Structure 1
Amino acid sequence: MIIRRALPRPGLPAPSQCLRFPRQQRTLATSPGPESDLARHGKVLPTEPPARSQGHRIRPVTADRPFTLKDEFENFQNFRKQSSHTGSRLSRHYAPYKHASRPPSPSDLTLELLMASGAHLGHATALWNPGNQRYIFGIRNGIHIIGLEHTLSHLRRAARVVDRVVEVFGTVLVVGTRAGQERTVVQTAEMMGGYHLFTRWTAGGITNARQILAGEKVVEINDLGEPNPSGPMEDPIPVRPDLVICLNPLENYVLLKECGQFGIPTIGVIDTDADPTWVTYPIPANDDSLRCISLIAGVLGRAGQAGLRRREAEVAEWKLEGEQEDEEAMMEEEEQVEDEQMEIKNWEDFENYMKKREALQDEQLKEINKIQEDLPSTPTLW
């Protein structure tokens, strides 16, 4: 007969019957009890003291003070307290913006993480675009399933593009106009030092930028937010991005078309109902899941952050080299000034020497004339 209720279940408090079970087993057993040991040996063997690391000292069992139910309960409570911190801990909430604020690097991205974010879920089979056939893994419950191996490879390729563009001082524009994407778009742009847009795109912002930006105020390049004191530019020069990351291509077809006309590369999240030819570097994934979008945008932002760090290190090296060159130039100028001053000093010394020499010659000439005057005049022979 198997008694299942007597065994404690993991994660549940042990019942009181389980605590009494060892006492009943010792009572019903054929082994002699503590009284027979006391009568046989005349004394009770001392129990070994527990280790100090346990933090709880078990009371020794004697004939006068047997092991009671209270002692068993205290030991059980102590054991539960000591083992409460062992094992893994599961959080009871999900942070929707965790992947955008602390995203994994492209090398640490896994298929399990993509599946957990819902990147494999496509649209209904009736809404599919034939251009996405190579990205579709299969059909389940009337919807297309996206192959995550394609998502992973295309996402890593796009991450390399972002990394390189940011490293070579490129301008990156992150666009996401759906509800709930504002925070993700802003965080991604801040990580890579780019620009963001979470409102409606103004048509002609790239193709007709001179007319649209004609009345706009020009902001200083140091990003202080101070308008240009000279006022609006009469003939503004349009600034076009070097790379555009679009998180919802279906709502931003005009932007993607303008980028295509000017040869601006684009990265977009392509679902099964979108056309992959709209963007330069498609990422087949679920564009309706905020968790999936946050993960993809976070990975791209982390790649841009790596490129930004290398760019800052390169700029710091350039500044150091420039400072060294300036110091060398200043030292050369100082040496040149010292040489000029030395030449001037030498010339002044030469002039003083010539003046002293002329004065000495004048004095000698005066002495000679005076001597000649003092000599007696000699008589002439004729």
Structure 2
Amino acid sequence: MIIRQFTLRQGRCVIRRNAARQWKRCLASPADSIHQSLQNQLQETRAIESEVNQYSIHHVQTIDAETHAPVETDSIAEDFQELLRQQKVTGSLGTEVAKHYQPHTLISNPPRPSDVTLELLLASQAHLGHNTSLWNPANARYIFGVHDGIHIISLDVTAAYLRRAAKVVSAVAERGGLILFVGTRNGQDRCVVRAAGLAGGCHLFERWTPGSITNGLQILGKCRLKVVNEFDEEIPGFDSQLADRPPLKPDLVVCLNPLENYIMLHECGLNNIPTIGIIDTDANPTWVTYPIPANDDSLRCVQVIAGVLGRAGQEGQAARREAAARNHITYAPAENLKAPQRDTRSKENGDVHADALDAEARQVSRHT
């Protein structure tokens, strides 16, 4: 259809010269001669269309992969078969660009302290600070430079301080300490729960209740306490002795957003509880004991730091259980705990469960 229209519209250019001359002569001829000229013109036009259709068939000149010589094909089926053969030969060539960033892996398989690299921190946007007009002068030693009015955090300092914080978390977990992970911003709940589960500690992803540490007897007085042995197995029989004991205080607090939890950090300072926090360029590094200069607005950066600290706590817990298997206790025993009294009749009857309870009670009296 396209060729026919092209031929009719541009007949002077496509039709041969003699046909064009006949077209000119037919304009001045009588009606019969005009009709005969039109018939001849139509036949010539159809002949030209057939020639164009023959040359417009899809001919693909392929190249042999071995000899690099052109291969002539005669039909569309052969062209398609040749295309499949070339795809089979050259399909394995080249490289595939895989997806490097998978967000769920930072929760399901967080990095370890040994996996901390500058590339990982750079990919997690840990180097991006705030505008230069919002900076805190106390962070001058953590700032690398300025780009487009934004402070750039030195990733060398971030990696060094993150490894130091990981060692602190691992040491506290190895000595049986209680670690509290706090992250109250939107999206931080999953990484906070995951890090606390790895380190065997507690987590908080909602609003901090003021006075939970300084006035813990009134706020957390109804929380249940339990006695465990060196393998974290609960030992029954101590409920009566735990009724009047004050609630436990964390031995270490990891805060992922210190700006929103200043009251909690102040209470930790009043009770000499060490803290670890992510310090951006607009925060005060003196609020926490072990600052980690990084971007606290990037969820990916927060997930990386929380995962590293959670893995560090997991390593500390594993080291503590391994030492307990060698009958070496790494933490001080609990005070004012007495072994539970059992019925003397069960001893006379040779109750095996009662003997095991006595053995566990003796371990608790020494090591818990």
Q: Same fold (TM over 0.5)?
A: yes
Q: Which amino acid aligns with 1:152?
A: A
Asked if the contact 1:213/1:236 (under 8 Å) is kept, the reply is no
- TM-score in terms of structure 2 length: 0.64
Structure 1: 5+ residue stretches without partners: 1-15, 29-67, 321-382
Is 1:284 matched up with 2:293?
yes
Asked if the contact 2:254/2:275 (under 8 Å) is kept, the reply is yes
Match among 129, 132, 144 for residue 137 of structure 1: 144
Aligned-residue offset at 1:314: 1.4
Aligned-residue offset at 1:229: 11
**Distance between the aligned counterparts of 1:197 and 1:125, measured in 2?**
32
Asked if the contact 1:106/1:159 (under 8 Å) is kept, the reply is yes
**Aligned residue number for residue 73 of structure 1:** 83
When residues 192 and 90 of structure 1 are mapped into structure 2, their CA distance, relative to the original with a 3 A threshold, is same
Which portions of structure 1, spanning 4 or more consecutive aligned residues, are displaced by more than 6 angstroms?
A: 21-25, 222-225, 228-234
1:60-99 matches, within 5 Å, as: 69=79, 72-81=82-91, 83=92, 87-91=95-99, 94-99=101-106
Structure 2: 5+ residue stretches without partners: 1-58, 72-77, 330-368
When residues 180 and 187 of structure 1 are mapped into structure 2, their CA distance, relative to the original with a 3 A threshold, is same
Aligned-residue offset at 1:233: 7.3
When residues 23 and 220 of structure 1 are mapped into structure 2, their CA distance, relative to the original with a 3 A threshold, is closer
Is 1:262 matched up with 2:268?
no
Aligned-residue offset at 1:235: 3.9
Q: Which amino acid aligns with 1:78?
A: K
**Aligned residue number for residue 218 of structure 1:** 224
Q: Which amino acid aligns with 1:72?
A: E
Task: Output the aligned Cα RMSD.
Answer: 3.3
Q: Which moved more, 1:204-213 or 1:161-170?
A: 204-213
Match among 241, 258, 266 for residue 249 of structure 1: 258
When residues 307 and 144 of structure 1 are mapped into structure 2, their CA distance, relative to the original with a 3 A threshold, is same
**Distance between the aligned counterparts of 2:217 and 2:200, measured in 1?**
25
Asked if the contact 1:248/1:268 (under 8 Å) is kept, the reply is yes
Bigger Cα Rg: 1
Q: Which amino acid aligns with 2:185?
A: R
**Aligned residue number for residue 323 of structure 2:** 314
**Aligned residue number for residue 209 of structure 1:** 216
Q: Which amino acid aligns with 1:155?
A: L
1:48-197 matches, within 5 Å, as: 69=79, 72-81=82-91, 83=92, 87-91=95-99, 94-197=101-204
Q: Give the length in aligned residue pairs.
A: 262
Asked if the contact 1:247/1:287 (under 8 Å) is kept, the reply is yes
- TM-score in terms of structure 1 length: 0.61
Identity rate, percent: 52
Aligned-residue offset at 1:242: 0.7
Structure 2 SS opposite 1:282: strand
When residues 76 and 308 of structure 1 are mapped into structure 2, their CA distance, relative to the original with a 3 A threshold, is same
**Distance between the aligned counterparts of 2:163 and 2:104, measured in 1?**
21
Structure 2 SS opposite 1:315: helix
Aligned-residue offset at 1:88: 4.1
**Aligned residue number for residue 34 of structure 1:** none
Asked if the contact 2:118/2:159 (under 8 Å) is kept, the reply is yes
Deviations 1:316-351 (A, max 9, x none): 22299xxxxxxxxxxxxxxxxxxxxxxxxxxxxxxx
Structure 2 SS opposite 1:154: helix
Aligned-residue offset at 1:70: 5.5
1:299-378 matches, within 5 Å, as: 299-318=308-327
Aligned-residue offset at 1:106: 1.7
**Distance between the aligned counterparts of 1:252 and 1:173, measured in 2?**
13
**Aligned residue number for residue 306 of structure 2:** 297
Structure 2 SS opposite 1:178: coil
Asked if the contact 2:279/2:293 (under 8 Å) is kept, the reply is yes
Asked if the contact 1:218/1:232 (under 8 Å) is kept, the reply is no
Aligned-residue offset at 1:232: 12
Aligned-residue offset at 1:252: 0.5
**Distance between the aligned counterparts of 1:106 and 1:317, measured in 2?**
26
Structure 2 SS opposite 1:297: helix
**Aligned residue number for residue 344 of structure 2:** none
